[in-house]
Amino acid sequence: MSVSVRHVLSVWHRNASMYRRTWKLNLLPNFFEPVFYLTAIGIGVGAYISEIGGLSYVAFLAPGLVCVAAMNGASFEVTYNVYIRLAYEKTYSAVITTPVTPEDILFGEVLWAVTRATIYGGGFFIVASLFGLVPNMMAVLAIFVIPLTGLLFASIGITFSLHMPTIEFFSFYFTLFLTPLFLFSDVFFPISERLTGFWLNAAEVFPLLHPVRIVRSIFNGDWGLHLLWDLGYIVVVSAILLFWAQRTIKKRLSN
Amino acid sequence: MIDKVNLDPVVDVQNISKDYSGKIAVSNLSMEIPAGICFGLLGPNGAGKSTTLKMVYGVTSPNSGDIRVFGRDVTKYTRETRSRLGVMLQEDVMTDALTPRQNLETFGRYHLITKLDLSKRVDWVINFMELNSHADVKVRNLSGGFKRRLAAAMAILNNPELLILDEPTTGLDPAVRHVLWSKIRQLKAEGKTVLLTTHYMDEAERLCDQVMIMANGESVIQGHPRELIKSELMPEVAEFDCSETEEMKILENIEEKSLALRSGDRLMVFMEDATRVLEAINQFDGGSRRPVYSRPANLEDVFLSVTGLRLGEGQ
């Protein structure tokens, strides 16, 4: 069996139409979170910081928070929501009695998570531009990094969800994985200035670091080959995880 | 000129076996389901009925053996096969936060039904399953009976040629069961082939043209319900409570060929003419034993005699 684009879209469509019904409830908390960080940390704490890498602190913060918004948008979708459909509502057991395959479900869910990441990341990007934090026209290109961030965290999250024995494990995912990423991935301070040697290299494992670095480079007009490493990380890690997840979802739904 | 009639079975299962990490679920099972009939898989819980269904609609693959649905290998042509069949699962797996209409619209998209056809089709199944009054109520507020009607509506949404129903009426009240039975009969009359599992023998007797009784993953017996009763058992049953010593005394003067099945204190004696046993009981204790009654043998008796004896053998 294979993946069929139309069937993948039918899975995506299901989530999109659910979301359309409740978007006001869902959008507000997720959307305001990075806005609060921007104002409290960026403007509040930032008042005590003269400048960082030649920028005001709030301007330093903006690119990272774009990626954080995308990361959160994707993560909520592929963790709790996917797990509920998989293990509680068992919607997938009904879906696979139709021509939709487990692989279609996987890619439909990931595509939807990317969509949600784009809504949140894009929304925050607009807010940041209203604050005057998008420095120039070229910086608008950073918008393309938002769905890529979504893809990376959708792949990580859904792979995790497919292997979780119980729903309680998601609190580990959020507090022991996403929270440290949020704090130590160049969002609040440049880790390259705080870490040295082995630890600086080891930090490259952190997934959020890579999209943040790309968006920051684009904002600063710092185009170079180093972006290929970050881009390559996102694409390769997502591909490996999705390959693994594809095998797992087949096994989980075929028994 | 003779009309060309397609006599190939809709479902053709040959010698399939399935185990889950060493635990046997289905063992060397074969069945052929011709077009237009209702075929019932009967058996106690854990007999392998649901696993067999899952293999027929291609969600689980057998370890060995062949399954052809509509003449094609279901493990190879899964997507096409599933577009021509409809499945009603044992559990209600619709989305609670949506209404029946919304659930049906979502499900129709999985079948790639186009928007215009979909709204017509959804209206049709809502009407057919008599869901109109509750079509726009959130599923979480529906009773069990309406949820089952919705599950059935989802299974027939794509106008399937083969309908697979896994315990369609388990846990329902008698009124809803009768509604579902009449719908299944109507669908069969339209020419659809039905494959269902049940552990209600009355359901099987009412609906099925052919049944297969399963135990421990194997087929024990197959055939038309009434013919099975005829071939497996004597036509009448006397049913009463008695101890094993009383049983010997009551039955000692009955020369006629009989089969006695015991479950605790309850004894069922199968005979050509059960009044002979009733008379023997009356002679034994002067008509004081109650309740004692005779009735025609039914599919449940066949079920108990074939699965009960096998369970006995295994112990």
CATH of B234-296, one of 2.10.240, 1.10.600, 3.40.1620, 3.30.70: 3.30.70
- B67-125 pLDDT, tens digit per residue, is 999 999 999 999 999 999 999 999 988 999 999 999 999 999 999 999 999 999 999 99
Measured on CA atoms in the order A19, A21, A23, A29, is the torsion positive or negative?
negative
Does the beta carbon of A226 lie under 8 angstroms from any beta carbon of chain B? Answer: no
Inter-chain residue contact B110 with A99, CB threshold 8 Å: yes
pLDDT for the residue numbered B278: 85
Estimate to the nearest angstrom the gap between the alpha carbon of A186 and the chain centroid: 15
pLDDT of residue B178 exceeding 90: yes
CATH of B11-223, one of 1.10.1740.10, 3.40.50.2300, 3.40.50.300, 2.30.130.10: 3.40.50.300
Min Cα separation A90/chain B (Å): 6
DSSP string, A30-99: HHHHHHHHIIIIIIIGGGG---BTTB-HHHHHHHHHHHHHHHHHHHHIIIIIHHIIIIIS-HHHHHTTTT
Asked if A104 and A4 touch (Cβ cutoff 8 Å), the reply is yes
Closest residue, chain A, to B59 (C-alpha): A254
What span, in angstroms and rounded, lies between the C-alpha atoms of B65 and B50? 17
A255 contact residues in B (CB cutoff 8 A): 20, 60
pLDDT for the residue numbered A236: 98
For the segment A27-53, the average pLDDT, to the nearest whole number, is 85
Which residues of chain B from 181 to 210 reach within 8 Å of chain A, CB to CB? none
pLDDT of residue B311 exceeding 80: no
Give me the torsion for CA of B50, B55, B56, B58, rounded to 10°: 130
pLDDT of residue A21 exceeding 80: yes
Q: Which helix (H) or strand (E) element contains residue A110?
A: helix A102-130
Beta bridge partners of B268: B239, B261
Angle, helices A145-163/A57-76, rounded to nearest 10 degrees = 40
Please identify which residue in the block is written with the tokens 């393309």.
Answer: A144
B59 contact residues in A (CB cutoff 8 A): 96-97, 253-254
Angle at A141 between CA A137 and CA A144, to 5 degrees: 155
Distances in whole angstroms, Cα of residue B145 to Cα of each of A88, A150, A185, B120, B152: 20, 41, 53, 24, 11
Question: Exposed, middle or buried by CB within 10 Å (0-12, 13-18, 19+), for B307?
Answer: buried
The Cβ-side half-sphere exposure at A228, using a 13 Å CA radius, reads 2
Determine phi and psi for B183, rounding to 5 degrees: -65, -40
pLDDT for the residue numbered B309: 52
Measured on CA atoms in the order B94, B182, B50, B31, is the torsion positive or negative?
negative
- A157-169 pLDDT, tens digit per residue, is 999 999 998 898 9
What span, in angstroms and rounded, lies between the C-alpha atoms of B197 and B42? 6
**Which of B109, B121, B157, B166 best tests the A interface by mutation, with the highest count of A CBs <10 A?**
B109
What span, in angstroms and rounded, lies between the C-alpha atoms of B261 and B155? 40
pLDDT of residue A95 exceeding 70: yes
pLDDT of residue A180 exceeding 50: yes
Count structural domains, chain A: 1
Estimate to the nearest angstrom the gap between the alpha carbon of A21 and the chain centroid: 23
Q: Reduce the DSSP state of residue B33 to 3 states and report it.
A: strand
Closest residue, chain A, to B103 (C-alpha): A14
Estimate to the nearest angstrom the gap between the alpha carbon of B86 and the chain centroid: 16
In chain B, CATH 3.40.50.300 covers: 11-223
Q: Bigger pLDDT: B161 or B242?
A: B161
A105 contact residues in B (CB cutoff 8 A): none
What span, in angstroms and rounded, lies between the C-alpha atoms of A66 and A62? 6
Inter-chain residue contact A93 with B82, CB threshold 8 Å: no
pLDDT of residue B162 exceeding 70: yes
- Closest by Cβ to B109, choosing from A13, A18, A101: A13
What span, in angstroms and rounded, lies between the C-alpha atoms of B40 and B206? 11
**Percent of chain A residues topping a pLDDT of 70:** 100
DSSP string, B251-289: HTT--S--EEEEETTEEEEEES-THHHHHHHHHHHTT--
pLDDT for the residue numbered B146: 95
Estimate to the nearest angstrom the gap between the alpha carbon of A52 and the chain centroid: 25
Question: Exposed, middle or buried by CB within 10 Å (0-12, 13-18, 19+), for A53?
Answer: exposed
pLDDT for the residue numbered B313: 37
pLDDT of residue B4 exceeding 60: no
- B216-258 pLDDT, tens digit per residue, is 999 999 999 999 999 988 889 998 888 888 888 888 877 777 7
Min Cα separation A238/chain B (Å): 26
Its domain, for residue A125, covers 5-254
| Average confidence score pLDDT of chain B | 90
Q: pLDDT grade, residue B6 (50/70/90)?
A: low
pLDDT for the residue numbered B159: 96
Please identify which residue in the block is written with the tokens 């399963």.
Answer: B214
pLDDT for the residue numbered B243: 87
What span, in angstroms and rounded, lies between the C-alpha atoms of A198 and A213? 19
A96 contact residues in B (CB cutoff 8 A): 59
Taking Cα atoms as reference points, which of B233, B232, B241, B130 lies closest to residue B182?
B130
pLDDT for the residue numbered B34: 96
B158 contact residues in A (CB cutoff 8 A): 98
- Strands B64-69, B11-20: pairing is antiparallel
Does the beta carbon of B57 lie under 8 angstroms from any beta carbon of chain A? Answer: yes
Asked if B181 and B207 touch (Cβ cutoff 8 Å), the reply is yes
Prediction pTM value:
0.90
pLDDT for the residue numbered B126: 97
Kindly report which listed range (B161-170, B211-220, B278-287) carries the lowest average pLDDT score.
B278-287
Inter-chain residue contact B91 with A10, CB threshold 8 Å: no
**Percent of chain B residues topping a pLDDT of 90:** 64
Paired tokens of B94: 């619709």
Does the beta carbon of B91 lie under 8 angstroms from any beta carbon of chain A? Answer: yes
| Average confidence score pLDDT of chain A | 92
pLDDT of residue B5 exceeding 60: no
**What's at B176, amino acid-wise?**
V
Inter-chain residue contact A94 with B94, CB threshold 8 Å: yes
- Strands B236-241, B72-73: pairing is unpaired
What span, in angstroms and rounded, lies between the C-alpha atoms of B298 and B200? 12
Closest residue, chain A, to B164 (C-alpha): A97
Does the beta carbon of B148 lie under 8 angstroms from any beta carbon of chain A? Answer: no
Asked if A64 and A149 touch (Cβ cutoff 8 Å), the reply is no
pLDDT for the residue numbered B186: 96
Inter-chain residue contact A18 with B60, CB threshold 8 Å: no
**Which of A97, A252, A255 best tests the B interface by mutation, with the highest count of B CBs <10 A?**
A97
